Structures are given as structure tokens and as C-alpha cells.
Copies of this chain bind each other. A is one copy, B any other.
Amino acid sequence: MKFNNGFFCSFVLPSFLVLGFFQESVHGRPLLMSPARPRPDNAAAFARWLVSQSSWGVLNTISSDWGGAPFGNVVSFSDGLPDKGKGIPYFYLTALDPTASNALKDQRSSFTISEYNLGTCGKKDPENPTCAKITLVGKLKLLEGTSKEAEFAQTALFTKHPEMKGWPKSHNFQVFKLEIENIFMINWFGGPKPLTVEQYLHAKMDKQTLIADATA
């Protein structure tokens, strides 16, 4: 990527990165409640945290109705059970909606999330590079209704978005996944973080790694 945004190069690790991690303590021993914001320079863990903690984003497809324009649409998603995300975003879409309809004709897609939604950006501007944003670029694919992955995805979606269970059967909602091919993430000064799909999908998200990360 050509983006090389090196402005404001001071680096102060805010104390909330450390303090926010331990949400309770028992007899002085920290008790991990839920994954806290990883260090920005741990790109893979940070990206997985941002995706896992978010509940919605903008899903982009190529519009067959509007001359091939890139068409963004607000959608809910899940990448797993709460705090147990696997990094792959799943969606519950109907072909009555242009996003699913577009994807069935042209799978090229991207999915964009802002940290601003999580309330962890304080008073920063939403475009401030330290208020993170991620775009996962890839192919939006319909899952086989009877597959193990579709079953996992539907459980993940319905757990995070209980309303989905009541969406009308007549609309034939189906599970889609974004098969990720490239990752664009900015979470600090200096431009997009180098991050491969392999690194992202296999990020260490266990408690020990994250505690070490938060206290480093």
C-alpha cells in the first residue's frame, strides 16, 4: 500500500492499556474478565480484538444496479461466541437486500470496522490514526446451509445478535462469510500495519499472551 502516514511520531503507551486490562482483582491477584485492548504494535492480536469486540460494520460489494459502484451497507456480524472470536466475519443476509444479491453475482467485497464504536477512542477524532480502523478485503461467500461451518456461524450470530432468531423466515436469510485475502489496518501513526492473513488468523489470543502484552 502507498499510505505512509508518519505524523505525530511521539509514542506514549497510555496507562489505560495496562490498567484497563484488569477489570477486577481478588486478593491482589488480577482476574481477567474479558480481552482488553492489546498493544497497537501487536498488530495481529489488535486486529483480532477489534473484530471480535465489534458487533457491526460496513460490508462493501460491487453494485450491479448502480453501474458497478462500490456499495457499502451497515450490517451486524459475528466471528464467534463472545470473547471467543476466530477472526472470520459471518453475516446473516437475504438476497432481497442488495448486498447479498450483489455478492451472488460478484464476490469481491470488503468489511470495514471502526474502533470508535467501542467507546475506547476517548475524545479523539474518528479519523485520528490512534483510533483504530480495519478493512478486511476478500470474497463474500454463501455457506452451504448444512455445513459444520454454517452451524458454527449461525450459533455465533444468534448469540451475539439475539434479534436475528426472529427475522422472518419468508425472507430466506442465509449465512455468508468473508474469505479474507488482504488486511488494511491503521491503529497508530505511521500508516497501515503490515499484517498477513496468516498472522491474523493465527494470532495468539490466550490470556497469558494478552497479559504479557498489556503489562509489557
Interface residues of A (CB under 8 A from B): 1-5, 7-8, 55-58, 60-63, 65-76, 94, 96-98, 101, 108-114, 116-117, 124-128, 133, 135, 137-138, 161, 163-164, 167-168, 171, 181-182, 184, 191
Contacts and interface: CB of A to CB of B under 8 A. Distances in A.
Nearest to A65: B1
A101 B2 contact: yes
A125 B74 contact: no
A96 B168 contact: no
A110 B68 CA distance: 11
A208 to B, nearest CB: 32
Contact of A73 (B56, B94, B133, B168): B133
Number of copies: 2
Contacts of A110: 63, 69-72
A160 to B, nearest CB: 9
Contacts of A164: 125
Contacts of A55: 126
Given A55-B126, A58-B58, A65-B1, A71 B74 contact: no
A67 B191 CA distance: 21
Contacts of A128: 163
A5 to B, nearest CB: 6
Given A56-B114, A60-B72, A98-B184, 18 more contacts: A2-B65, A3-B98, A8-B168, A56-B127, A57-B58, A58-B60, A58-B72, A60-B70, A68-B108, A70-B71, A70-B110, A73-B112, A73-B133, A74-B116, A74-B127, A75-B127, A125-B161, A125-B164
